[in-house]
Structure 1
Amino acid sequence: MNAPDWTPEEWTAAAAVGTFFVALVALIVAVVQTEIARRVRRDQARPAIHVELQLSEGAFHGVDLVVRNLGPTVGTDVRLAFDPPLVSSIDQDAAGRRISDLAFLAEGIPSLAPGGEIRTLFDALTARRTEGLPERYRVTVSCRDARGKRQPALTYVLDMGAFYGLRATQRRTVHDVAVALRSIDKRLRTWTVRGRLGVWAQNDSDRMRAELGGMNLTALDQLNVGMHPRQAEIEALLGREPPPLRGLTAGVRSVFAWLRRRR
């Protein structure tokens, strides 16, 4: 049948079929886009538990094991599985425990909030290589979301070898600030008067009056007139001329008293 020979009813039926197929394709595209958007939202909303090794800020040549949640939602029932089993050259601490005995490694983490972090000293670079311990681990992380739904497992490779041979850099961190503050606090504790810190402020004139107000200028002072670079200022601050000669012994005593005040 040729197209020009179609009846109006046939043209209407063909148009309806074409509309149906266009609507079907649009529906399929909409469903696919909706599913993609749903998956993106689900992936963006799920917890993202990340495990890595970092150079320690508090221990020389130390490496920290760090577990953090980089996702926007809380992660629950976080479990870490290491292959080979985790060992450290600093195992057997004062309590006789190994690093694998730590609660968050042995029993898991009940919950880890968004941005939350758990960190522990893992090992010392030099000691680990000396003892010939494994330098590479594969860690598998499993967890649940806030509704208790099991999330896809994530696998990371931890490589201690990446830290060997690094060129030294000097980087000040909050740890250095804390050390400096402790040093300042220790020094301030030694600056005490009867158990309390005494601090006062004076201008130069007030300081000289405090030092010289109760001191008599004696014969030795008169002999040294013009030798002290601030003699004229001293006499002006006292508001009087040097007193008469009172003996060399009294002058030496006054000079020593003045020197003690100057310390």
Structure 2
Amino acid sequence: MVQNIGQRPALDVSITLDPAPRRARETAGHEIGKIKMLNEPVALIAPGQEMRVFYDDHSERMGREDLPSSHQVSLTYRDSSGNEYSESSVLDIEAMKGAMFTSVRTIHDIGKSLEKMNQTFSRSSVLGRAGKIQAEVSVESRVEHVQRIAEENSQQQERHRSLLKGLGFDNSDGVVALGPNAPGEAESGRGTEID
């Protein structure tokens, strides 16, 4: 990954790796040593911009002594005022060899999981002949969830009060009038009041 961590754009960025990188299994036309950013200057890298490239799968590199694992990295660029910079470092892809680490999951992992679920569901007999299932997914924080439930409960109570009022039940004073008579006729004995 190459990232501009400065406050201004990096211009005419040249990146070289010596020796040139090689993957354990290259795809014709997409060889890592032939990618544009390693062979031609990058016109501009904006502040905070990242340029990421998949290098290789460590499990495929195991035991491959013919593949370079350490590279001298040279980076040259200029800023918007015309000042030129040159930096160098070492990229050692085996620096953590033998170490244990934890995984960090990203949105790409979610996409892979969804694809696996899609494959599983498409072969499932519970989906019927159409082979489709519709799922709606929502992600909300605990606070958002509590607020949403409180709002839904409030709306439900308001709909309930409105329904009762529309049916002629007025429980604002705790009295519910039943029967065909209008409220207040119960005193004359023609209606029924429940308290």
Displacement, 1:181?
Answer: 3.1
Q: Secondary structure at the match of 2:52?
A: strand
Displacement, 1:88?
Answer: 3.0
In the alignment, structure 1 segments of 5+ residues that lack a partner are: 1-65, 200-263
Q: Secondary structure at the match of 2:56?
A: strand
Q: Does 1:163 align with 2:96?
A: yes
User: CA distance change for structure 1 residues 94 and 192 in 2, over 3 Å: closer, same or farther?
Assistant: farther
Once residues 99 and 79 of structure 2 are traced to their aligned partners in structure 1, the CA distance between those partners, rounded to angstroms, is 38
Tell me what 2:13 maps to: 78
In the alignment, structure 2 segments of 5+ residues that lack a partner are: 136-195
Tell me what 2:74 maps to: 140
Aligned counterparts, 1:11-30, within 5 A: none
- Aligned residues of 2:8 and 2:79 also touching (Cα < 8 A): yes
Tell me what 1:20 maps to: none
Task: State the TM-score, normalized to the length of structure 1.
Answer: 0.42
Q: Secondary structure at the match of 1:165?
A: coil
Once residues 169 and 84 of structure 1 are traced to their aligned partners in structure 2, the CA distance between those partners, rounded to angstroms, is 30
Task: State the TM-score, normalized to the length of structure 2.
Answer: 0.55
Displacement, 1:119?
Answer: 1.1
- Aligned residues of 1:141 and 1:153 also touching (Cα < 8 A): yes
- Name the structure where helix makes up a greater proportion of residues: 1
- Aligned residues of 1:192 and 1:198 also touching (Cα < 8 A): no
User: CA distance change for structure 1 residues 128 and 150 in 2, over 3 Å: closer, same or farther?
Assistant: farther
Identity level (%): 27
Aligned counterparts, 1:28-39, within 5 A: none
Once residues 111 and 178 of structure 1 are traced to their aligned partners in structure 2, the CA distance between those partners, rounded to angstroms, is 30
RMSD: 3.0
Deviations 1:70-123 (A, max 9, x none): 1111111110122233333233x133x531211111112111111111111112
> Which is bigger in relative contact order (C-alpha 8 A, separation at least 6)?
2
Q: Which has the larger radius of gyration?
A: 1
